[in-house]
Amino acid sequence: MPFPRSSGVLLHPTSFPGPFGVGDVGSAAYRFIDFLQQSKQTIWQVLPLGPTGHGDSPYMCYSSMAGNHILISLEKLVEQGLLAQADIEGDRPNFPTHCADYDRAIPYKLGLLTKAAQNFATNATAEQRSAFETFCRDRQDWLDDYALFMALKQANSGKPWTQWDQTLVKRKPEALDYWRQQLADPIFQHKFWQFEFFNQWSALKKYANERDVIIFGDMPIYVAHDSADVWESPDIFQLNPETGEPAWMAGVPPDYFSETGQLWGNPIYNWEKIQQDDFQWWVRRFKGLLDYVDILRIDHFRGFEAFWQIPYGEETAINGHWVGAPGHQLFEKIGAELGKLPIVAEDLGIITPEVEHLRDRFQFPGMKILHFAFGGDDGNPYLPHNHVENCIVYTGTHDNDTSMGWFNQLPDWERDKLMGYIGGIDQDSVHWKMVHLAFSSVANQVIVPLQDLFGLGSDCRMNTPGKPSGNWTWRYEEGQLTQAVGDRLANLTTQHNRECSPVTL
């Protein structure tokens, strides 16, 4: 569905400031929404909100449905009486303020989250217990297996599920029943953490929506192999029936950017089996995510038209091949079940006419990246004069450098083309020149990473694809969300007619 002319900011909750080693959905999140309202922004885009696994990446989660309990605000738990103020002020490490310190923050927060769960189990009121039971019942289709999966993973020292006892790998009912009893306490804790995450997130979303700010979420097309999704429903993935390992792996073929392509390693879907069940797994997934975001970006959208599959054991993506996918039937079904589809298609990379047809048939907005605009001729689709209304323009995404970092590393010929296009540039204000260029586009929506409003360099980028560690750590610090930045953004928004009511979205 097309969206009205509007604008917003890209910022993941882990990037909020605060004293606990990683951003969360506490007081800093509410102040950020106030900043968006005051600067006339109506969209807050986040990355996937699931519980992160390998490399702390939000694109490699232990569940496609669960929330990341590390984002739970400890301060909110104190307000509820589930923790004492002394609990969060006692032996707290001296965390850095400019970056997420996952190695220390996660065990620190898990200790306090466990204490909060124990306090809830002991002291919850009848009303609180009833709300918890209702939550567990309403989400039973994924929550029971997720909580058991996480408890089993902890009991198995974090090993992937394919390395557990074979009775658990094969999900033998008697083994599952036995371990549900043995692991009753950690299972309860994981359910409670989901209950608390969704309560806190729902309150934050309500606060945003009441201030005319909508939440723009993100859904990776694939799920991690070591996840509750694959362990719970192995039949909808192409796995080796003996080992549980992927029979085929996801990725993209060699292209201009990589001679060997990209090997992601996620298992490929068994689309035949999924179709036999009338796409119900996907319907539940979309419905679950759209319950707590207003718009949903599909990462690697082209995989719904055709996907690149690579045999298990390959070390690169070279020896793969394209396989068609039933995207048209899938989105017809989701539309029939859920009504309007507030979906954005991440249509970057190798895009064929067939992919464009799938995107345009359902009127999904695509994406335009200004950092990609000046490396070709005047027909480059990312140049603003080639934009269409039904798309979203970014200066850059979470996978790109910041605009300052990007500009500083441009080859001379590309920098000259940029300067000629916008009529010259002052290196100290290149970030605002790029933001202005995005806002002036005919594109219905503009999203700007927060780093570009601050004019930050390459050391503040969120992710470097292919870099194995050190990603997802950037955080801004208290005091950076200034009135001056907000006023400048508000003026741009008014100047380019990007104020809209999210009620129309």
Does residue 489 belong to any structural domain of this protein? no
The pTM for the full model equals: 0.96
pLDDT tens digits for 181-211? 999 999 999 999 999 999 999 999 999 999 9
Q: Supply the range of the domain harboring residue 335.
A: 233-365
H or E element at residue 408: helix 403-408
Q: Which two three-digit tokens encode residue 496?
A: 């380019």
pLDDT tens digits for 68-118? 999 999 999 999 999 999 999 988 999 999 999 999 999 999 999 999 999
Does residue 257 belong to any structural domain of this protein? yes
pLDDT tens digits for 170-181? 999 999 999 999
Pick the catalytic residue from 229, 346, 347, 452: 346
Does residue 353 belong to any structural domain of this protein? yes
Residue 242, pLDDT above cutoff 50: yes
Give phi and psi for 150, each to the nearest 5: -65, -40
Measure the CA–CA gap between 400 and 370, rounded to whole angstroms: 10
Over pLDDT 90: what percentage of the chain? 91
Higher pLDDT, 423 or 239: 239
Q: Decide if 354 is catalytic.
A: no
Does residue 411 belong to any structural domain of this protein? no
pLDDT tens digits for 27-53? 999 999 999 999 999 999 999 999 999
Does residue 295 belong to any structural domain of this protein? yes
- How far from each other are the two terminal CA atoms of the chain, in whole angstroms? 9
Listing DSSP states for 431-485 in one string gives HHHHHHHHHTSS-SEEEEEHHHHHT--GGG-S--TT--SS-S-B---TT-S-HHH
Confidence of residue 399 (pLDDT cuts 50, 70, 90): very high
CB within 8 Å of 381: residues ≥ 6 apart: 368
Q: What is the mean predicted confidence (pLDDT) over 404-420?
A: 94
Pick the catalytic residue from 299, 305, 401, 452: 299
Does residue 280 belong to any structural domain of this protein? yes
- 3-state secondary structure (DSSP) of residue 423: coil
pLDDT tens digits for 315-343? 999 999 999 999 999 999 999 999 989 99
Q: Decide if 399 is catalytic.
A: yes
Does residue 493 belong to any structural domain of this protein? no
The DSSP secondary-structure symbol of 401 reads: P
Confidence of residue 272 (pLDDT cuts 50, 70, 90): very high
What domain count does the chain have?
1
Angle at which helix 353-361 crosses helix 327-338, to 10 degrees, equals: 10
Confidence of residue 468 (pLDDT cuts 50, 70, 90): confident
Residue 245, pLDDT above cutoff 50: yes
Counting Cα atoms < 13 Å in the Cβ hemisphere of 346 gives: 19
Residue-level pLDDT at 2: 73
Q: Which two three-digit tokens encode residue 154?
A: 């902890």
Q: Decide if 428 is catalytic.
A: no
Amino acid identity at 455: G
H or E element at residue 263: strand 262-267
Does residue 30 belong to any structural domain of this protein? no
- 3-state secondary structure (DSSP) of residue 170: coil
Measure the CA–CA gap between 477 and 17, rounded to whole angstroms: 5
Pick the catalytic residue from 75, 354, 356, 399: 399
Residue-level pLDDT at 257: 67
CA 6 to centroid of chain Cα atoms: 21
Q: Are 17 and 95 in contact (CB under 8 A)?
A: no
Residue among 145, 115, 146, 120 nearest 133 (CA): 120
